[in-house]
Structures are given as C-alpha cells and as structure tokens.
Amino acid sequence: MSVNTDRSYKMKLRDVENAFKYRRIPYPKRSVELIALLAISCTFFLFMHTNKLNSRLKEMEVKLQPSEFSALGLTGNHISGHDAGKHDDINTLHGTYQYLKSTGQLHTLTPYKLNNTAKAEMDRIFFTRCAKVGSESLIQFMEYLQHVNDFDVDHTGLKQPAKRQLLPRGQARKARYIYDQPAGTAYIEHTSWIDFNHFNMPKPIYINLVRDPVERVISWYYYVRNSYRNAIFYRKNPTAEIQPAAWFKKNYNDCVRSGDPECQYIPMTVKDVVGNFKRQTLFFCGHHEDCLPFDSPLAVQIAKRRVEEEYAVVGTWEETNITLTVLEHYIPRYFARATTIYPIFAEKLKNRNRNNRKPKVDEDVKAMVRRNFTNEYEFYHFCKQRLYKQYIALKRSQLEQVYLS
C-alpha cells in the first residue's frame, strides 16, 4: 500500500470515528420534556433542603455559642433547675447569691444597672400576660393597688380572643390603642411583645410573669376541661361544638403515656394539634416567624434579649414576695407599698383562678414531658436568675447579714 493510499485510508477512518463521536441522536419531544422536568424538580428539592439545613445550622450556631443574654453568664441548664432544695442550685435565690459572690459580681450589683423602667418613653404599663402563670392574682392585686397609687387597670385586652401572632397592622393598632390611653394606665392582654419604636411610638413599661413550663401546660390541660370555664364559654358561644364526655374525663397521665397527640410536645413544630399555649417564650420573643417553632434555641435567645433590654420586671408568682418587692422598687409609680398592702389580701388572692379539681400528675410523666422543654426551661431559669439579681441588688446588705450569721 502506497503512502498516499495509507493516508487516504487513515483520513477516512478518522472521518468515520468523528461521525460516531459527534453524532446527534434525535430524542422524542416528550423525553426532552421529562428530562427538563426532572432537572427542575431536583433543583427545587435541593433548594428546599439547603434552605432548611441553613435554618437549622443557624439555630445550632445560636445554641452552641455562649449566650450574650444569660442572667448569670450561664444557661439555665448549667446546673439542673429540677434539683430544688440543693444549696448549690443556681436557680434558687441562695444559689444565685453564692454564685454572684464567688464570681465577684456581688459588690458591683446595683438596682440602677438592672432597672429598665428608665428606658420607658411613656407612662403606661404593657402587661404582655403569659397564659397560666398566676397572673389572675397579680391583676386582682393591681386592681386594689390602683386606688392607692392613682393608676387605672385597662382590661380591654382580656375581653378579646387571644392571638399568639399579629400582623404588622394589628401590632400598630394595638400600640396606638395603648399610646392613646391616659398616662398612668396598665394595659393587660394575652399577647406577645410589640416593638413600639418600630411604629414610631414611644415604648411603655413592659412587665410579665413566668412559671415552670411543664406546670403551665398541665394547668392549661385541666383549665380547658374546667366545667365552670366551659359553662361560660358555651353560654357565650352557643353554636360551638361541645366536646364529648370522654374528652372532659381524659387523665393527663394517660394522655402522655398513650402518646395521645394532645399531649405530645414535639420540638421545632409550629402548628399545634390542639391549642395549648406551650410556648412561654412566644410572649417575649414577639410576632416574627422565628418565634413560632416550639422549644426553638433561636426563639429563646430572642426572648432573652427582649427580657434583658426591654422588660422592667419579669417575675414569677412562685416567688410572690420577691416579685412584689422587685415590682415595688423598680416600678414605684404603680407598685409603691405593694409588700405592705399584699398581706391584707393574700388569703383572698391565694386561690384566685385555682382549679381545685386538678388531679395529681405523676412525677415520671412530668419528667417525660420535661425532656421536650429543654430550651423553654433555659428561658424560665434565665428569667428567675434575673429576678433574683434584681432582688439581691436591693437587699444585698440584709442578705449578707443572713448568710454571715
């Protein structure tokens, strides 16, 4: 074979290879559409999961970092809050005092540094009342105090259906209503914190109460089954569907142990099977969608920020005397002489809105439920530590005498 013939043969071979290499194979039109649809679906799937992962990572980042807003520089879970009675429990007055003393913070503690009342820009109280925290007793006591300290208690918010979240228009309307009230008004409602400055209005004096998270949900569980409460409800709402007798008789212990959806408290859920007000942090966090997931680390950090920067006092009726002492000294315009007057009405207020027919809940059931309230407990202990700090700042010299004796 000559050189030219050989070259011609190789060129032809290369042409055949190229023909196979770059050949265009026609695809049916429907196949092309199917491939395009699969590509779009995969892209959307990856986008949704990446977005969800990003949100979870954001929450984990907040949870894992040391909290800027932690009453004693620790999370509420640093020392278990369920070991009540132990002298080293940081979530008791004694434990908080000893911790402040051991870290050198005790002698720098002053009421001035811990008082947010001075930050208020108008003479109104906004009591963003949590559900089932003993607030009925405080409200009743404020009705006695208003005649002594010359202020008015506005119950308008208590006559409206409770909404856990408001759109900006609703928040603005609520803020405007409070702003339009006369100076010296205490407005009370089951609602979340509202940023008045965002709507170009001066901020009020914020107050609230907290309670042990699991005790709150148990209290709510039996409260909605209270016959007196339901008689009033169905009289006001005659067309409402009446629950079956078995629902009223359902025991909380059995509800939890059987896995009944009503008694399942799943972290990071947004929609509840049954309304239960389990998110105590929601009343402090606000109306943003980040506040909605249950037991969310992010919501807890936002709620802490609100308490630390905005609320004058967040007390607890579990510590009535401490709460009233702090209210009296930090918001004297409304609560002056509170500790002097309270003993007169203490017996009458003690049983206010108490459900005496509430059965005993077993401790192992409480422990089961408590495991899903980790972050809610962190917030609860944070609020109690802050309350103790405010009290210790007022009573430091007396407490030093007690602990030295």
pLDDT digits (tens, 9 = 90+) for 149-206: 999 999 888 787 777 789 999 999 999 999 999 999 999 999 999 999 999 999 999 9
The confidence score (pLDDT) of residue 400 equals 85
- Which residue's structure tokens are 């395009």? 36
Q: Where residue 235 falls among pLDDT bands split at 50, 70, 90?
A: low
- Which residue's structure tokens are 């092309």? 32
Residue 281 in contact with residue 360, Cβ under 8 Å?
no
- Strand-pair category, 152-154 with 311-315: unpaired
Residues 189/193/198/204 CA torsion (nearest 10 deg) = 60
330 CB contacts (<8 Å, ≥6 apart)? 111, 114, 115, 117, 312, 313, 390
Q: Which of 49, 155, 190, 287 is catalytic?
A: 190
Residue 56 in contact with residue 360, Cβ under 8 Å?
no
Q: Where residue 12 falls among pLDDT bands split at 50, 70, 90?
A: low
C-alpha 261/C-alpha 276 separation (Å) is 12
Nearest to 306 by CA among 335, 286, 287, 321: 286
Q: Where residue 77 falls among pLDDT bands split at 50, 70, 90?
A: very low
Percent of the chain with pLDDT over 70: 73
Q: H-helix or E-strand containing 140?
A: helix 135-149
What does the mean pLDDT of the chain come to?
Answer: 83
Helix, strand, coil share (%) of the chain residues, nearest 5: 60, 5, 35
C-alpha 300/C-alpha 348 separation (Å) is 35
C-alpha 66/C-alpha 75 separation (Å) is 8
Amino acid at 135: S
Residue 257 in contact with residue 365, Cβ under 8 Å?
yes
C-alpha 248/C-alpha 235 separation (Å) is 17
The confidence score (pLDDT) of residue 83 equals 41
pLDDT for residue 371 is more than 50: yes
C-alpha 104/C-alpha 282 separation (Å) is 34
Range 241-261 average pLDDT: 89
Considering the entire predicted model, what is its pTM? 0.79
Q: How far is CA 134 from CA 16, 138, 221, 360, in A?
A: 89, 7, 15, 19
- pLDDT one-digit tens code per residue, 258-279: 999 999 999 999 988 777 789 9
The confidence score (pLDDT) of residue 164 equals 73
Whether 190 sits among the annotated catalytic residues: the reply is yes
The confidence score (pLDDT) of residue 45 equals 57
DSSP state of 154: E
Residue 312 in contact with residue 193, Cβ under 8 Å?
no
For domain 93-404, the CATH superfamily is P-loop containing nucleotide triphosphate hydrolases (3.40.50.300)
Which residues share a beta bridge with 13? none
